[in-house]
Structure formats: C-alpha cells, structure tokens
Amino acid sequence: MHLLWMKTELLHPVDKGGRIRTYQMLRHLRRDHRVTYVCLDDGSGTAEDAAAATEYCDRLVRVPFHPQPKGSWRFLGEVARSLPAPLPYAVSRYRSVEMEKRCLQIAREEQVDVVVCDFLAPTVNVSDELRCPRVLFQHNVEAAIWRRRYEVASKLESALMWDQWRKIERFERQQCRRFDRVVVVSEEDLRVHRECYGVTRVSAVPTGVDLDYFRPNPGGDYTPRELVFTGSMDWFPNEDAIVHFAHEVLPRIHKAVPDVTLTIVGRNPPPRVRALAERDPSVRVTGGVPDVRPYLERAALFVVPLRIGGGTRLKIYEAMAMGRPVVSTSIGAEGLPLRDGLDLRLADGDEPFAAAVIELLEQPLKAQMIAMRGAQRVRSEFGWEHAAEAFARVCDEVAGERSERAAG
C-alpha cells in the first residue's frame, strides 16, 4: 500500500507520547508499505530532525507553518478572537490551505491507497475532494481531555476551558463521522466513539512498546526511595499531575517515608514545575534528557498521578518493560488492559495514592512481584510489531471497502 500520512509536526525528536506512537507505528509499517509523510513545519526542527525522517517514511513533504508562540501576546490575542468562532482554537490554529492543497495534489498525481490523518487537529486540512479512503488515527478522545481540564480549572480559566471542551466535542463528533474509518488506541476509546459519537466504522489498535530499547538492566543504579515521573512537561495533563502530586500527595508520603525523593523527567518544564525543586530539596527536575532509561533504572517506583488525559499512556508500558513497579491513577492507566494488584497498582485520590506508594516502598518484595508480572505481560503481548500489523489490516480493509463500493 501507499499511505499518505498527515501530521502537524516532524517526529524527531521522538520525545513525547504522540510522536513515539506514530514513529514506532510508521517504522514498522514502512517495512512492507510505502509512506509519504506530510507535515506542518514551523521551523523549530533541525536539519538532522528532517534527515531522520528516512527512519519512518519514504518521502517527506514539509509545509511551511508559522503559528504564534504559546503564551505570547499574539497567541493570547488569537485565542480571544477565536471565542466567537465555531472551531476550537486547538484545531483552528493548525489550519493550512497549503497542506490541504499539497495532499490533494499528491493524491491526484500518485497512486495513494489510504490517507491517514494523525490526531484530530490536522483534520481541518483534509479536503472533501479526496477520492481515496481516509482514516483518522485518534490517539485520544480529545473532548475527554478538555472536559477534564475544565473540571480541574481555576475560576479564572473555567469559562475558556468550558468553551473549548464543548467546541472540541462537537468538532470531534463531526470529523469522526466524516472518515471512512477511525482508529483508536484502546477498547475504552472504541466504546466512547460508538456510544457518544455514534461512530460505527471504528477499530481499536493496541498501544505498544519498543521491547529492544526498554529492557531491564540488573546493573542499573537503583535507588530504593526514589519515585520517578516521566513525560513532556509542556503537555498540560503532565504538568497538572505532577504539580498536584508534589503539593498534595508527596507530603503525605514524607510523613511515613521521610527520605523519599521525586525525580521529574521531561522536556520544557514550566516555571511552576521548576519551582517544585526550588521549594523542596527532595524534588529534582531534570528537564529534557537524551535517554529516560537511566532514570527508570533508578526508580523504586514509577508514578503516574494523572488527573486529566485520554488515549493510553506509553510511559506505563515503558516503565513496566524496564521492570519497574508502577502506581497510577485510573485515568493514568485508562485504556490499558492491565490488572490492578497484579501488573501495577491503581489508586485514585490523594490519600489512597499516597498509601499505595507507601505500601510498595515498605514492602519491596511485593513491589518486585508486581514489577516482574508487569514486565512479563508487556513482553509477551505489547510489542509494536503487533500494533503495526493491526493498523495495516485496518488500512487494507478500508481500501478494499472503497474499491467494492466503487465497483458496485
């Protein structure tokens, strides 16, 4: 097959969940299929990032794109001007007439079997004039993320969060019904698309992990009282999770385990995340790192205290593949077919989460058993090759269905 893959960014550096999932999926798909990758290019990527695209596509098409920097006055002005508009700003800021034209041109001039739109935002650039099958790759239920943002928003932010949530929900429903097939990353997301959006043409493709890269290292620098959290800190759900954890959960853990420490690993930590380390000497904020594995090796526990989110958390599989015990909220582990008390520990609420962490810190044999079962489960069931094979089957089905309709 020839896949025309649309995304809002280059994949390198492969340093956040959405990029990791797409990168691994394409890296495996490209072994048997041709991939043309069309992306918006805001100029932030290096020449090396563009050159590395040969790892996941046969042809790279970069469309110039000039968004306003987040947090700037022009950005805030765009947000304000978007309030009366029907489109959510999280989508409209990625509108690109040039991207729409380039994809149409490629589809008309070349034999494209399936167009894959990666995430909800680029759907604004998917033309109705495309005559080849179209697949929407939904890494999350975006409306669920915005609803949860609204639920934890301050009074100052709540009106904006409510506005964006309702607009995203309407837009997401419309777009999911416009595509020949929607691909989601969990059975839970599949249920939501069917029941809440009325989407019948939807398939679940599992999340995976790079089992060659994430492996236990018995010689690693293990620290028996260190908690580790990893994630892109410029993604609001991660920022919200770790700030809340440090303020509300960590002090409860300190009462029982005074020498416990917290290491926060992830790119672009905002000021209020950096301030955690300035306020509390038991907290360390690394910023971006070239390799998260040494930090996972050190961890007594890997914590995922998310209160907002959607889709599935790759970081959980990565930690489990490294042989680390995981404590997560239900939202953090949402969509992953994992068993509480066997593969990981689930706990919701500040006191229960703190209690789960304390229990595993004080019972290292129990923590080790959970880690061993989790690692075995991930290695036997959740490699990326399985996910890529499932995605390719969906694309084959969609292409075949369109051909049958055309023939009929």
Please give the Cα distance from 284 to 383 (Å, whole number): 31
Domain boundaries, the chain: 2-208+384-407, 226-381
Would you state the structure tokens that stand for residue 122, as one six-digit string? 């680029």
Concatenate the DSSP letters of all residues of 122-162 into one string: GGGG--TT--S-EEEEESS-HHHHHHHHHHH--HHHHHHHH
Which residue, 340, 250, 341, is CA-closest to 303? 250
- Tens of pLDDT, residue by residue over 62-94, are 999 988 877 788 887 888 888 888 999 989 999
Model confidence at 220, pLDDT cuts 50, 70, 90, reads confident
Average pLDDT over residues 261-279: 95
pLDDT value at position 408?
Answer: 52
* Omega prior to 13 cis, within 30 of 0: yes
Average pLDDT over residues 263-278: 95
**For 2-208+384-407, CATH number?**
3.40.50.2000
Concatenate the DSSP letters of all residues of 278-293 into one string: HH-TTEEEEES-S-SH
Average pLDDT over residues 265-284: 95
Model confidence at 381, pLDDT cuts 50, 70, 90, reads confident
Which CATH fold topology does 226-381 show?
A: Rossmann fold (3.40.50)
Q: Please return the burial class of 386, using the count of CB atoms within 10 Å of its CB with bins 0-12, 13-18 and 19+.
A: middle
Percent of the chain at pLDDT > 90 equals: 74
- Higher-confidence residue: 61 or 407? 61
pTM of the model as a whole = 0.81
DSSP reduced 3-state for 2? strand
Percent of the chain at pLDDT > 70 equals: 98
In this predicted structure, the answer to whether residue 405 has a pLDDT above a threshold of 80 is no
| CB contact at 8 A, 315 and 17 | yes
Q: Which of 69-83, 106-120, 310-324 has the lowest mean pLDDT?
A: 69-83
* Alpha helices (runs of H) in 30-86, residue ranges in sequence order: 47-51, 73-82
Please give the Cα distance from 294 to 259 (Å, whole number): 21
Let me know if the fold of 2-208+384-407 is the same as that of 226-381: yes
- Tens of pLDDT, residue by residue over 42-67, are 988 899 999 999 999 999 999 999 88
